[in-house]
Amino acid sequence: MPSAQTAKAQPTVDELIAVLKRTALPTVVCEGDDDLIVYRRLEDQLRHLGVSVLSAGGRENVLQIFNRRSEIPSSVRLAFIADRDTWINTAVPAAYVSPLLCLTSGYSIENDVIADGKLESLLVGAEVSTYKEQLELFLEWYALALSRHLTNPSDPIAYHPKYVLNSKERPSLMALRFGETYPTIMRETLSTKYGTLVRGKSLLLLLLHNLNTRDGLPRYTDKALLEIVAANPGELLTKITNAVASVFAP
């Protein structure tokens, strides 16, 4: 018998489409639970339009529903929000360039939150230099991992920063494969625009790793920072809200 603590199963894409076929509300389809922390605020900001937000359980599900939107009656008003993901490093495919699909300005919603909230400014004193040193080490690996990932998506870019920085793991992570050269130009580009181009969840985890080393001071969580910034959105979160509003505007 399943435990009462068992997590609720995520509906399938088919089930989500069935729900959307029956709704009478203007609906925003977004990725997942962390995104909802931000986008529930969007619901409040657009309450005059009666907007509802639906979690699809991941980016691929959002894109699948977007691709199958013709199965949903045209009377159902829909907008979609997704992380730009590695399209930030390449380009948005033509099939996904649409006013109905609102993409984050940076790699993910975490990038936009970090920028809007100026979260790096939470670091003080020696934390700043330690964070920058760790960031440079992380970017050195990320450039190599990303160059591989863009060729073969099964190559991971989502390792936890603490794993990447671990002195025992790092030599194997940084070892070049046969015939491979280190992507120096990509590394330089990432260093210049890491806040936009690098996976935001990784950046937020690295920031938290440095913020939460303070003795006697409150500890931060990623979800708390997302909610704090969402409550006082800056330019990038406002841009998403405005893009959604334009879809549903009378």
In tens, the pLDDT along 15-62 reads: 999 999 999 999 999 998 888 899 988 888 898 889 999 999 999 999
What residue type is 136 in one-letter code?
E
Task: State the pLDDT at residue 230.
Answer: 95
pTM of the model as a whole:
0.93
Q: What percent of the chain has pLDDT over 70?
A: 97
Torsional sign, CA 153, 154, 159, 164: negative
Partners of 103 in the β-ladder? 82
Task: State the pLDDT at residue 250.
Answer: 74
Comparing CA positions, the residue from 107, 113, 59 lying closest to residue 86 is 107
Q: What percent of the chain has pLDDT over 90?
A: 84
Q: What is the pLDDT of residues 147-206, one digit of tens each?
A: 999 999 999 999 999 999 999 999 999 999 999 999 999 999 999 999 999 999 999 999
Instruction: Give the span between the Cα atoms of 97 and 101, in whole angstroms.
Output: 7
Give yes or no for residue 87 having a pLDDT over 80: yes
Across the chain, how many H-helices and E-strands are there? 12, 4
Structure tokens of 120?
Answer: 């790096």
Domains of the chain by start residue, with CATH: 13-109+231-248 (3.40.50), 118-219 (no CATH)
Give yes or no for residue 12 having a pLDDT over 60: yes
Name the E strands within the chain: 27-30, 52-55, 78-82, 101-103
Q: What is the pLDDT of residues 106-164, one digit of tens each?
A: 999 999 999 999 999 999 988 999 999 999 999 999 999 999 999 999 999 999 999 99
Instruction: Give the span between the Cα atoms of 168 and 226, in whole angstroms.
Output: 32
Structure tokens of 121?
Answer: 């400014």
**pLDDT average, residue stretch 63-83:** 96
Task: State the pLDDT at residue 7.
Answer: 52
Comparing CA positions, the residue from 66, 68, 70, 71 lying closest to residue 31 is 66
- Alpha-carbon distance values, 183 to 144, 152, 163, 174, 221 (Å): 6, 15, 21, 12, 33
Task: State the pLDDT at residue 215.
Answer: 76
Contact 77, 248 (CB under 8 A): yes
Instruction: Give the span between the Cα atoms of 192 and 215, in whole angstroms.
Output: 32
